[in-house]
Structure 1
Amino acid sequence: MDIYIKGKRIRLKPDCAIGKGGEADVYKLGSDRAVKIFKSPDHPDYQGLSQEQKSAKEKLVEHQQKLRQFPTNLPPRVITPEDLATDKQGRIIKGYTMSLVSNAEVLLRYGERSFRNGVIDNKTVVNIFENLHETVTKIHLVGVVLGDFNDLNVLVKGTDTYIIDADSCQFNGFYCRVFTAKFVDPLLCDRTASSPVMQSYHNQDSDWYSFAIMLMQCLLFVSPYGGIYKPKNLSQRIPQAARSLNRITVFNPEVKYPKPATPYQVLSDDLLHHFYQVFEEDKRGEFPRSLLANLSWQKCSSCGVEHARKTCPLCTNIQVVPAVSPIGTKTVRGTVTAELIFKTEGIILAGNYSNSSLQWLYWDGSQFKRENNTVVFTGELDPYTQFRLGGKATLVGKQGQVITLSPNTSPERLAVDNCGMQVQFDTNEIGKYWLYNGQLLRDGQLGSEYIGDVLSNQTRFWVGSQFGFGFYRAGNLTVSFVFDTQRKGINDRLQIPLGSGQLLDAACTFSDRLCWFFWSMQEGGQTRKRCALISSDGEVKALHEGNETWLQNLQGKCAVNHFLLCGTDEGILRVEANGDRLFVAKEFPDTEPFIDANTRLFAGKNGLYAVSQQTIYLLKIS
């Protein structure tokens, strides 16, 4: 694709792509600049989507005027348009250049326990939101409204925040007509609808409403409308998407609070009361900065939870050691026998089942240890460090490098491609696999062996025992592929409609000849979660989209033969395929005490291993 900036032709190549959203593609220009190119109605992402094509056309027309009138007095941490990207004649605006914020993460990740993982505490989160509060206040002072304000258009670097996608802001009669369902103010929406439908334009109050949602989500790992609404009166049931319209929050006694979330009682009374007023009673206005400034966090010496109160609200905080089941304890509940095989006060970071045994890696507060308590290395946790286990070897990936640590062997180092902030490598019983300079490689007898070509720094992949799966998206290009773990060549003829929006998360799990690929996208203001069942020869056997319980968390699932086991807050579910349809074939409610939605499952010859953040159970179901 060719564009022109100040009359100079610039050719945009797929391997320079660094971002992809629902309305635009972003490419890197040098070390400190990027260019955002709006999708045209004929963009491949919009193929067969008439409404999206219409919206793209309307937005391109509006941008011809809006970008030329964009305010120049916004705070410096708002990433605003700089030079216009046009056609050759300079008449039609196709996008704009902007500053590139490198080594930053979307605010969305700070609401994920797996990302924070004992590394980023609540004090740091509050500092981030104090910084964001200052920026939002300054934006409002110059008469601009953010509009579609959400946790994907805020970047975090340290404790500094940067607001991106500023072209959607409201100013001078240019209104923001797009919204993200999770963050849109219900006061602007049709209350009788089954999901949010805006009837009024965004305003400063709606910006602060979004701010409050993001803060609550980052402090508690749950949104105000999280959990499961189970009214005793079945006639009061409503779709999950309509809960904000009916003000049914986690404070409602008929909402089952998510197990992985932090109980909201850890918040100060003032902050908790403010959240209740905003989400239950429609209080609006600027978020009081004093609620952030007055928070004082401490960690309970008994249960380890962070709280903003004088004493821990979750325990008596008296110096009494609670009864903890010893290793080997067996608990019977109905048809399930659960044996506790490991526990730690630290954090379990990775697990793997191979060679007829479960392997795991955990951090005890200062050291990284394997399942036999051998110290692999010493250090602090980092949210961007990735781990894989292969037999006795521990693979550690970060910033374009993978180090293999094995007992009595010198560390081995590999240069590896990144995809965003993630290093691209995996391992199985055969060896390790990685991407470098756009090539998919594996261990060989004489060194690395070439499998096939992929798109550099844009590809994600996973491997099972027999085959692997991967995909890449950049600009107009979307490709999915499978490959044999022991042979050269990739099959990229898969037809998987990944979607037109921004990729939020992806995961994959394998049995011998099948893989289950999960991904979530932000499309048209909605979070869409999907699953594809794929055979080793590249046949897509089933496609599924939905918000069922088994799709709430994409990670940690376990494929066994032709079916899938999924952990939920209510126990394990078994998912199967009937033709091209996926459905829940069986529920195991007796597993509920030992499982939550974040539990990682591994099938073994002696039963099913359930790995949580601090415990591992061996489950046997009769």
Structure 2
Amino acid sequence: MNCEPVSSFTIQKRPKSPTISPFKITMAHTIYIQNQRYQLDAADLIQSGGEGMVFGLGNTAVKLYHHPTPAHQDKIRHWFAQPRQLPGEILAPCAPAFNKQGQIIGVQMPRLPAMSVPLKQLSLPNFWQQHALTTQQIVPLFQRLHQALSRLHQLQIVVGDLNETNLFFTPPGQSASQSFWIDVDSYQFGQFPCPVAMPAFLDPTLYHVTNFAERPYFTPLTDWYAFTVLLVKSLLQIHPYGGVHRQHKSLQARATAGVSILANDVTLPPRARPPETLSDDLLHHLHTTFDKGERRPFPPNLLQEYAQNLQSCPQCQLAYPGNRRGCPACSHPTPVPVQPSAAVSKTLLQVDGFIEAVFVQPNGRLLIIYRQGEQYRLVRAGIGGLLSEMVLFNGSVGYRFGTFTRPDGHDFLVVNPPHRPQLLVLDIYSSQPQQVTLLETAMFRNTAVFTTTPNHLYRISGGWIIRGSVQYGSYLEDPVGTAHRAQTQLFGSPFSNTVAGFHRIFAEHRFFTITPNGTERQLATALPPGSYIAEAAVVFAPNLIGVVQQLAENGRFHTHVQAFNQQGQWQQSWDLGEDGWETAVHQFASLKQPLPQPLPPSDKLHYHPAGWLIQQPQQLNFLAASK
């Protein structure tokens, strides 16, 4: 994939300078690409990481290093001095970016398509169910990844930091999935090292290395080790050294000892697929790689033969090799701890499809949106059971929803199509939905910014956070706060008409809350030195506001949660480790008030005056409050 021309501002020759200055954070940056001058500001930011910030520039992206060094300059010059015929999915640098002194401060590259998602999504069971993915669709994706990685190695390029966040793909639907490789400027080639490594994908033979920028440490074999980790995480929903072992507690300890998920004394979590869903040849390769420590290129025939012999279970639809006597999941289900009788949940709804959203209305009634194929349906229910059901519309995967209610109980549904700024407000009080208005809102990271509270819809327009409601038959709005262009995200409380969010200003996140009377308060958070925010969200409990941050430091990720009261005063914090993001976002209320039985991280918890609602992909359960 190549960079196509973008429109320029003014053309100017770049002057020469022998020294390099640190990249300073200002409100606008002037850069030069192929002697054309461009200006980037905070609204153009796509993502900020540990090494630099990525900005959008037309249909391309520009990565600017936080601290450009002579090593950056030398590596980029070497890259462009060696023409290569790269696979089309490699989003490689296509031009250096200079400052006005003529110093290389970054690179221009093709921009990721809006529909692409990180490969990490394949390790989440909910993602498979939401997109109705099958193993038969995903194995060809890994065959193409294998081909691309083999081609890179033929060109004497080693990825080095191959992981689930720098590989992207488009979920397969009507057409085959496409893959995209990013962070190519950090690849290892020539004498230039890959300076970073994510521990979960790092070959244990390199655990002793403390500074990957020192010299080239990675090899094609360390890439194939990381490729195999990605394959296991995607097809089995667990890391090769995941699960629980009584003696070796951490992932690194398990990897050092060679105790993988194939060991008999490792307990797998319920969300993991049985290893027997892979072929015997694949299992043998995993055993030699992760248990015996052998290293060799991943044989491509293993994927081809596996794909040719898959069959699907008629009961659970899980794919497994045709030579198995039966479905590994149905024949040997993973034991799930049984809840005490006093804490047994009641199933309110079970669907042949995917539950997209659950809303608890002020009167305790439930609104449930689920999708069956391409048809979206709305269900009204109470704790006692279903009340009514109606068809909403037909559409693709990815619609988002909100709901708000007038004080008299008249309710409205907000519908947002995927990757588009439109918000359709529907009156759903009668038997057939009626359009109230069609609005537009700002976008943040290719996603429309909107949220709802019990009585309001919030969106962003013209630099303002706008609060809307239906009064006297008309949709009326008023501004309640200021927004940063393309850099503000909103989250609504289901308990009150409080809205919260953050403004992203380059690498900084500023969290805030706006009370029902319009008072804005800052939620003061602090980052540990040397870390940056990879993801952020705001969540709510009945009397708390939670700021959830996925922090990255030296290639390691962990989830940090800070709780504030309604006045914006700090109350408590939790560190949930590497895999805590889903738990924090989906089950924040249970951190303060634990449930009788822990839930899988993918289960979404909703507070109800009479207890808890547990949203799973295909069913909604109710757990009564303990007396």
Question: TM class, shorter-chain normalised?
Answer: 0.7 to 0.9
Cα distance in structure 2, aligned partners of 1:473 and 1:225: 35
Aligned to 1:519: 549
Amino acid at match of 2:50: G
Does residue 34 in structure 1 map to residue 45 in structure 2?
no
Cα distance in structure 2, aligned partners of 1:121 and 1:484: 44
Cα distance in structure 2, aligned partners of 1:199 and 1:5: 29
Amino acid at match of 1:222: I
Task: Report how many residues are paired.
Answer: 554
Aligned to 2:129: 117
For residues 106-255 of structure 1, the aligned pairs below 5 Å read: 106-119=118-131, 120-157=133-170, 159-190=177-208, 201-229=217-245, 231=246, 236-255=247-266
Aligned to 1:49: none
Please state how far the C-alpha of 1:530 moved relative to its aligned partner: 0.6
Amino acid at match of 1:603: Y
Cα distance in structure 1, aligned partners of 2:603 and 2:214: 37
Cα distance in structure 1, aligned partners of 2:248 and 2:573: 28
Aligned to 1:481: 512
Cα distance in structure 2, aligned partners of 1:619 and 1:265: 34
Please state how far the C-alpha of 1:550 moved relative to its aligned partner: 6.4
- Contact map agreement 2:559 2:580 (CA 8 A) in 1: no
Cα distance in structure 2, aligned partners of 1:502 and 1:477: 9
For residues 345-360 of structure 1, the aligned pairs below 5 Å read: 345-354=352-361, 355-360=363-368
1:280 to 291, 294, 298: 291
Structure-2 change in CA distance of 1:292 and 1:438 (3 Å): farther
Amino acid at match of 1:497: L
Amino acid at match of 2:414: L
Cα distance in structure 1, aligned partners of 2:532 and 2:179: 20
Residues 10-53 of structure 1 show CA distances to partners (whole Å, capped at 9, x for unaligned) of: 322000111211111011112x222110002xxxxxxxxxxxxx
Aligned to 1:575: 592
Please state how far the C-alpha of 1:475 moved relative to its aligned partner: 2.3
Residues 209-258 of structure 1 show CA distances to partners (whole Å, capped at 9, x for unaligned) of: 111111221222222122333x1xxxx34334433233332223333312
Structure-2 change in CA distance of 1:386 and 1:245 (3 Å): farther
SS in 1 for 2:328: coil
Aligned to 2:392: 377
SS in 2 for 1:133: helix
For residues 431-442 of structure 1, the aligned pairs below 5 Å read: 431-442=456-467
Cα distance in structure 1, aligned partners of 2:311 and 2:182: 33
Please state how far the C-alpha of 1:587 moved relative to its aligned partner: 6.4
Please state how far the C-alpha of 1:85 moved relative to its aligned partner: 1.6
SS in 2 for 1:228: coil
Does residue 262 in structure 1 map to residue 273 in structure 2?
yes
Aligned to 1:401: 422
Please state how far the C-alpha of 1:282 moved relative to its aligned partner: 1.8
Aligned to 1:418: 443
Residues 414-436 of structure 1 show CA distances to partners (whole Å, capped at 9, x for unaligned) of: 21222213322211211211223
Q: Mean alpha-carbon deviation: is it higher for 523-532 or for 249-258?
A: 249-258
Structure-2 change in CA distance of 1:181 and 1:357 (3 Å): same
Q: Mean alpha-carbon deviation: is it higher for 11-20 or for 76-85?
A: 76-85
Amino acid at match of 1:135: A
Cα distance in structure 2, aligned partners of 1:81 and 1:440: 37
Please state how far the C-alpha of 1:529 moved relative to its aligned partner: 0.8
Cα distance in structure 1, aligned partners of 2:137 and 2:503: 33
- Contact map agreement 2:188 2:216 (CA 8 A) in 1: no
Please state how far the C-alpha of 1:462 moved relative to its aligned partner: 0.7
Structure-2 change in CA distance of 1:513 and 1:609 (3 Å): closer
- Contact map agreement 1:367 1:375 (CA 8 A) in 2: no
Residues 500-558 of structure 1 show CA distances to partners (whole Å, capped at 9, x for unaligned) of: 66655444332354211222133321012110112333333334434288666333215
Cα distance in structure 2, aligned partners of 1:308 and 1:394: 44
Give TM-score scaled by structure 2 length: 0.81
Please state how far the C-alpha of 1:610 moved relative to its aligned partner: 2.0
Does residue 89 in structure 1 map to residue 116 in structure 2?
no
Cα distance in structure 2, aligned partners of 1:68 and 1:20: 24
SS in 1 for 2:72: helix
Structure-2 change in CA distance of 1:437 and 1:276 (3 Å): farther
Aligned to 1:598: 602
Residues 241-285 of structure 1 show CA distances to partners (whole Å, capped at 9, x for unaligned) of: 433233332223333312223333222222233223222222322
- Contact map agreement 1:21 1:500 (CA 8 A) in 2: no
1:333 to 331, 334, 340: 340
Does residue 472 in structure 1 map to residue 503 in structure 2?
yes
Structure-2 change in CA distance of 1:5 and 1:466 (3 Å): same
SS in 2 for 1:270: helix
Please state how far the C-alpha of 1:135 moved relative to its aligned partner: 1.1
SS in 1 for 2:606: strand
Amino acid at match of 2:399: T
Residues 316-366 of structure 1 show CA distances to partners (whole Å, capped at 9, x for unaligned) of: 69xxxx9xxxxxxxx982442432222223222211222223332222345
- Contact map agreement 2:188 2:194 (CA 8 A) in 1: yes
Structure-2 change in CA distance of 1:63 and 1:163 (3 Å): same
RMSD over aligned Cα, in angstroms?
3.1
- Contact map agreement 1:189 1:198 (CA 8 A) in 2: no
Residues 88-140 of structure 1 show CA distances to partners (whole Å, capped at 9, x for unaligned) of: 231x2111111223222222223223333342332222222122111111110
Please state how far the C-alpha of 1:159 moved relative to its aligned partner: 2.0
Aligned to 1:451: 480
SS in 2 for 1:257: coil
Cα distance in structure 1, aligned partners of 2:278 and 2:438: 44
Q: Mean alpha-carbon deviation: is it higher for 331-340 or for 611-620?
A: 331-340
Please state how far the C-alpha of 1:291 moved relative to its aligned partner: 1.9
Aligned to 1:579: none
- Contact map agreement 2:378 2:392 (CA 8 A) in 1: no
Aligned to 2:8: none
Give TM-score scaled by structure 1 length: 0.81
Amino acid at match of 2:368: W
Structure-2 change in CA distance of 1:283 and 1:80 (3 Å): same
Cα distance in structure 1, aligned partners of 2:339 and 2:100: 73
Aligned to 2:24: none
Cα distance in structure 2, aligned partners of 1:198 and 1:271: 35
Aligned to 2:18: none
2:52 to 4, 24, 34: 24
Cα distance in structure 1, aligned partners of 2:415 and 2:125: 20
Please state how far the C-alpha of 1:496 moved relative to its aligned partner: 4.1
**Identical aligned pairs, as a percentage?**
24
Please state how far the C-alpha of 1:76 moved relative to its aligned partner: 3.4
Cα distance in structure 2, aligned partners of 1:98 and 1:269: 41
Structure 2: state its 5+ residue gaps. Answer: 1-28, 171-175, 381-387, 406-410
Does residue 271 in structure 1 map to residue 289 in structure 2?
no
